[in-house]
Amino acid sequence: MSAVMLSQWMKERRSPYVLMLFIVLSVLAVLLFGSSNGGSLKVDVFSDAGMPEEQASLLVARLNESEAFVFRMLEEEEVRKNVQEGRSAAAVRLMAEDFRILASVNDYNVQLLESQVASVYKEELQIRSAMAAAGSPSGFREDVLRYLENPPLTMELASPDGGSVESYNMGLQLTFAFALFVVMFTIGFKINAINAEKTSGIWDRMVLSPLSKTAMYMGHLTYSTIIGFIQVVLVLAILRFGFGFAIGDRYGELLAVSLLYVVSVVAMAMLFTGITRTPEKFNMIYPSIIPVIPLISGAYMPPGVFDNAILQAFAQLFPLSHAMDAMLGISMHDFGWTELYLPIAKLLLVTVLFMGIGINLVERNR
């Protein structure tokens, strides 16, 4: 086994660029997409022609009371150009008694934006109506806003244990999603070395040596597991200590789930190796299927948005959704081993099934 691992390491040392590229891609993907979802979203706004500037500024100030969005006033031409060219996902056109959303795509954030702006407009129109009916409207708005700051009846959200309810961290979800997604390519290409050696005849010559077949399999599988685990750990460490991403402080549980996920991906790659038989077919099929797994697993979408029951059931066959559930539970909800039992059991089941079927197919294809 050590001889096989050493031979794979010598290949890696001569050409480490693929592994380095995948690590850089993981970090860049999180920085591009994950960081933009971890804080407030910037939204451009412009006022309708004829709308008083004071009224528009008041609406922007009211809109900026939300922590989810940051609204900035720009010229109409610039706002429309930003949306058309994709620099802004959405913008708001302010009118005296209504508004319009300009969006390039109708996603979850656009729906949340529309709901936020509608609630502000509704409250603002109610205040204007009350001001018009008041006998002395001067100072009426300030009195109403002061009253709303200290209402006679308040509602507080609390978790079952009495603690505060934290908002969902979409940036953290994307951090784990990209880190776990890219490592599937690294592991797949390492496992594909089995097909390459079988096709070139190296595997047959090694069988004639004192090296056992079990040791040959274990050498490839162990090396791929080590490389994949190192990649995941490096990516998470760079994001945590290099860029300050908050992934929690339960590092032991995160590392354990990461290792189990890597082992399950190794088993999945072994299954594809047995199905494809040749390295060329593997390189054609595996990279085409892997990008679909995060989509059907809902890794890129907030909870509740992806509700297709058939695809959700199909996603249970792949390790990504189970690892995401476990890692998000650890970082966001302080899951212990009791809560992690179910996703870990699913990862183990997937690993056993994929590895058993994969090795069986590889042996039959000889």
- pLDDT value of residue 161: 61
Using one digit for the tens of pLDDT, what is the confidence trace for 218-237?
988 999 999 999 999 999 99
- pLDDT value of residue 93: 92
> How many whole angstroms separate alpha carbon 159 and alpha carbon 332?
13
- pLDDT value of residue 323: 95
According to CATH, where is 3.40.50 located in the chain?
41-149
Q: Which residues of the chain have pLDDT under 50?
A: 38
- pLDDT value of residue 34: 62
- pLDDT value of residue 35: 57
> How many whole angstroms separate alpha carbon 296 and alpha carbon 54?
47
State phi, psi for 5 to the nearest 5 degrees: -65, -40
- pLDDT value of residue 358: 93
- pLDDT value of residue 254: 94
- pLDDT value of residue 366: 59
- pLDDT value of residue 287: 93
Q: How many C-beta atoms surround the C-beta of residue 81 within 10 A?
A: 13
In one letter, which amino acid is 328?
L
Does the pTM of the predicted model rise above 0.75?
no
Architecture of domain 41-149 in CATH? 3-Layer(aba) Sandwich (3.40)
- pLDDT value of residue 3: 73
DSSP alpha helix (H) spans, the chain: 2-14, 17-29, 35-38, 53-63, 76-84, 108-133, 140-149, 170-200, 202-207, 213-237, 251-276, 279-289, 292-297, 309-315, 319-333, 341-364
> How many whole angstroms separate alpha carbon 144 and alpha carbon 131?
10
CA of 12: how far to CAs of 20, 190, 231, in Å? Answer: 11, 10, 13
- pLDDT value of residue 123: 84
